[in-house]
Amino acid sequence: MQPSLQISDSLNVAAADAVRKASAALLRRQSDEGYWNATLRADTTLESDYILLQLWLHPPVEGVWNPPTRPRVDRAVASILARQLPDGGFNIYLQGPAEINACIKAYFALKVAGLPVSDPRMQSLCARILEMGGLQAANSYVRTNLNLFDLYPRDACPSIPPELILLPFNFIYQMSSWTRAIVIALAIVHAANPKRPVPGGFNLDELFLAGAPTRPERSLKLFSWRNFFLKLDRFLKVWERRGPRFIRSYATRKCADWMIAHFDYSDGLGAIYPSMQYAVMALDALGYAPDHPLRIEAQKQFDGLIFDRQAESGEGFYCQPCFSPVWDTAIAAFALGETEDPPLDSLRRTADWLLLKEVRRKGDWSTKRPGAEPAGWAFEFNNEFYPDVDDTAMVLLAFEKARASDPAAQQACQKRALDWILAMQGRDGGWAAFDVDNDWNILSYVPFADHNAMLDPSCPDITGRVMEALIACGLPSSHSAIRRGVNYLLRHQEADGSWYGRWGVTYIYGTFLALRGLRAAGLGENEPCIQRGLEFIRAYQNTDGGWGESCASYDEGRFISQASTPSQTAWALLALLAGGDLRSESLYNGIEYLLRTQRPDGDWNESYCTGTGFPRVFYLSYTDYRNTFPLLALSVFLKVASSSDEARARFESRGVKAAHAS
């Protein structure tokens, strides 16, 4: 429905009222233990993969597939079909176009589950897949998954050899942490070379585009890394058939040992959906019976990601890619702490819970930083091999607002985390998510690297947040780590004045965090880099006063606008405020947008993805971004504006159309 408008006394009164309502709404969602855990949503590929896993675990009997999970499979089918686009395809982000891999996964899952190919929905999906290049256009992971059921030729799928774990130079630790966890488990499955065709002549022949090659094509350059790795892949296929069995067996055992060791202190392998799925399949391929404790625990952790309350509340079925309690909690605490009257008791419970979640064991990161003392926080409830820099920086910022019951323990914890973050700075001066100097760019040409997530390099968004956190913890702006971080951000500013956002969509997110980091580091508002960043933000404001950026920005390598969203509007406002802009119409129009679109219950609506998993491949809808970031932006606005005579006079005299979206 269209918002209904009513005139408020002044902008500051309306903003303060919006902050009170947003704070109350956020506090209602806080758990008794003190944390927040908002739903994390993704695309239909997770539900499609769920059906694939059920087919793997419960193959057809006498040509009939009737798994014990049949009711859930049916609900997964309904969940997939509910998101089919008018053109027959499936997208990978809300309001986005059809994407070939999501379409192929959905078609396979729906057909396996029993939807006839004569169904109009299947016919339109098939036609859409053929328009986009057919089955041959699928990425390596889709082809490999289909090969497990003899639906795509094995020699046209990339080799994923377990021998990777035996390579020198800590090879597996040159891959990103998430790729590492996926590849190790998938290599076990790949080495088993399972033959599990679906009975009854099941095939996907109708999806093959006539005349299109089934194998990746060589680069036109005679000498290129792509051609080198394609040749290497051909060698590996010969090795699979003729190589010494004892080496493969040894490598498979090493992969199994690595995988099983990484189950400890974690809610599943890597605590993320793909690696947890492949871990269940790997244990099955290794011969672990369904009643083995490892299988039971791996299955339990995977099933925990499934939201299935249809029988109770009619809310449907979907799979979460992971849980995000530490991240949600740190952002919520920081936003509440910025309000004029922060809820100290609630924040104390939050700080106490966060202290319990500090990681005190060495994880994969220690391969490159063996001398650093373990500290930091993971994204999920339990994932101690993978604390990440971004979460740790956000928790440190939250700790500046939330005081624990034991101040001495909190102070010691903050000191450890600060030292760990300093140790995790890359040689380029920036910070990445999980590892240090994870930037072997040649790995992007490996045949199974087309999921666009092979590496975990430094990025401006994390670097900006880290610099803000370090300064908040008392590190002087003259510290060498801060100076190197500043230089990193200055080098990575885009030609249009923006910064790239790796973990949020896209240039608005990167610019907001880079500006906050640079300003925290002491750069003045009149610095050219700051002014260029502000100009970028102001240039892309929508006519309704808000900001919106499409995930298509990643595809185009430039800003692509979309309808305004509360979260991205908040990021833009935080960028303007960080840069010292208290004068422009852009700032006040943006504030009015947030006030106008707030719901009566204090929350906001958002129907676009603004979170990033893997750029161009996998996106996330953080369902509380739409609430926590507007709360933060409005609180910072009130705080900054009240300390400026010019700004106070400006908004006191300005009428505002405050609205409540019903």
What does the domain layout of the chain look like in residue ranges? Answer: 45-319
Looking at the predicted structure, is the pLDDT value of residue 123 above 90?
yes
| pLDDT number for residue 654 | 52
> What CA–CA distance (Å, rounded) separates 332 from 350?
10
What's the CA dihedral at 587, 591, 592, 598 to 10 degrees? 160
pLDDT tens profile 206-225: 999 999 988 777 766 778 88
Specify the range with the lowest mean pLDDT, choosing from 71-80, 372-381, 461-470, 637-646.
637-646
Which residue shows structure tokens 């190919």? 117
pLDDT at 316 over 60: yes
pLDDT at residue 138 tops 80: yes
- Give pLDDT, residue 6: 35
pLDDT at residue 191, rounded to an integer: 92
Task: Compute the average pLDDT of residues 100-129.
Answer: 98
pLDDT value for 227 = 86
Q: Report CA-CA distances (Å) from 214 to 103, 136, 142, 210, 552.
A: 18, 5, 13, 10, 27
For CA atoms 214, 219, 222, 227, give the dihedral sign: negative
Asked if pLDDT for residue 39 goes beyond 70, the answer is: yes
Return the residue matching tokens 């935080």: 574
- What pLDDT score was predicted for residue 644? 65
CA-to-CA distance for 56 and 258, rounded, in angstroms? 23
- Residues 265 and 361: beta-carbon distance below 8 Å: yes
- Altogether, the residues listed in the chain come to a count of 662
Helix (H) or strand (E) holding 426: none
Q: For residue 561, which of 592, 590, 528, 537 has the smallest C-alpha distance?
A: 537
Burial annotation 523-557 (CB, 10 A radius, 16+ → b, else e)? beeeeebbebbbebbbebbbebbbbbbbbbbbeee
Q: Which of 43, 267, 390, 603 is catalytic?
A: 390
Closest alpha carbon to 366 in 436, 453, 268, 455: 436
Q: Is 80 exceeded by the pLDDT of residue 47? A: yes
Q: What is the rounded average pLDDT of the residues 440-466?
A: 91
Tell me what the pLDDT averaged over the chain comes to.
93
In 383-527, alpha helices (H): 389-399, 407-423, 460-472, 480-491, 507-520
pLDDT tens string 84-94:
999 999 999 99
Residue 173, Cβ density class (10 Å: 0-12 exposed, 13-18 middle, ≥19 buried):
middle
Question: How is 8-77 classified by DSSP, letter by letter?
Answer: ES-HHHHHHHHHHHHHHHHHHT--TTS-----EE--THHHHHHHHHHHHHS--BTTB---TTHHHHHHHH
Please tell me whether residue 359 adopts helix, strand or coil conformation. coil
Q: Above pLDDT 90, what percent of the chain?
A: 85
- CB distance 445 to 464 below 8 Å: no
Give 514: exposed, middle or buried? Use CB within 10 Å, 0-12, 13-18, 19+.
Answer: buried
Across the beta sheet with 40-41, the strand order is 40-41, 618-622, 611-614
**Three-class HEC string of 215-279:** CCCCCCCCCCHHHHHHHHHHHHHHHHHHCCHHHHHHHHHHHHHHHHHCCCCECCHHHCHHHHHHH
A 10 A CB-CB count for 518 gives: 27
Question: What distance, in Å, lies between the first and last C-alpha atoms of the chain?
Answer: 6
User: What angle do helix axes 325-337 and 11-28 make, rounded to 10 degrees?
Assistant: 150
Cα separation, 168 vs 341, in Å, equals 56
* Calpha distance 236→158 (Å, rounded): 9
Max mean pLDDT range (147-161, 207-221, 474-488): 474-488
Confidence at 650, pLDDT banded by 50, 70, 90: low
pLDDT tens for each residue of 381-429: 999 999 999 999 999 999 999 999 999 999 999 999 999 999 999 999 9
Instruction: Write the Ramachandran bin of 403: left for phi over 0, alpha for psi from -120 to 50, otherwise beta.
Output: beta
Q: Hunting for tokens 């926080």 — which residue is that?
A: 377
What percent of the chain clears pLDDT 70, i.e. is strictly above it? 95
Tokens standing for residue 584: 């422009």
Would you state the pLDDT for residue 178? 95
pLDDT average, residue stretch 263-270: 97
Looking at the predicted structure, is the pLDDT value of residue 41 above 50? yes
Is pTM beyond 0.85? Reply is: yes
Residues 196 and 202: their CA atoms lie apart, in Å, by: 11
| pLDDT, average across residues 228-251 | 90
What DSSP string runs through 359-407?
A: --S--GGGGT-TTSPP--B-SSSSBTT--BHHHHHHHHHHHTT---S-H
How much is the pLDDT for 449?
81
| 45-319: CATH class | mainly alpha
Helix (H, G, I), strand (E, B) or coil at 495: coil
Dist CA 387 CA 391 (whole Å): 8
Q: 645 pLDDT band (50/70/90 cuts)?
A: low
Bridge partners of residue 64, in order along the sequence: 61
Residue of 173, 169, 174 lying closest to 444 (CA atoms) = 174
What phi, psi does 176 have (nearest 5°)? -60, 155
Q: How far is CA 211 from the centre of its chain?
A: 36
More confident residue, 282 or 659: 282
Q: Kindly tell me if the per-residue pLDDT of 656 is higher than 80.
A: no
Mean per-residue pLDDT for 326-347? 97
Pairing of strands 4-8, 656-660: antiparallel
Listed in sequence order, the residues at least 6 apart from 253 whose beta carbon sits closer than 8 Å to its beta carbon are none
Q: Is 390 a catalytic residue?
A: yes
Q: CA torsion angle for 300, 305, 309, 315 (degrees, to 10)?
A: -170
> Above 70 in pLDDT, residue 312?
no
Mean pLDDT of 542-549: 98
The pLDDT of residue 507 is 98
Give the Cβ contact number of residue 168 at 10 Å.
5
Residue 238: count other Cβ atoms within 10 Å of its Cβ. 10
Q: What is the DSSP letter of 314?
A: S
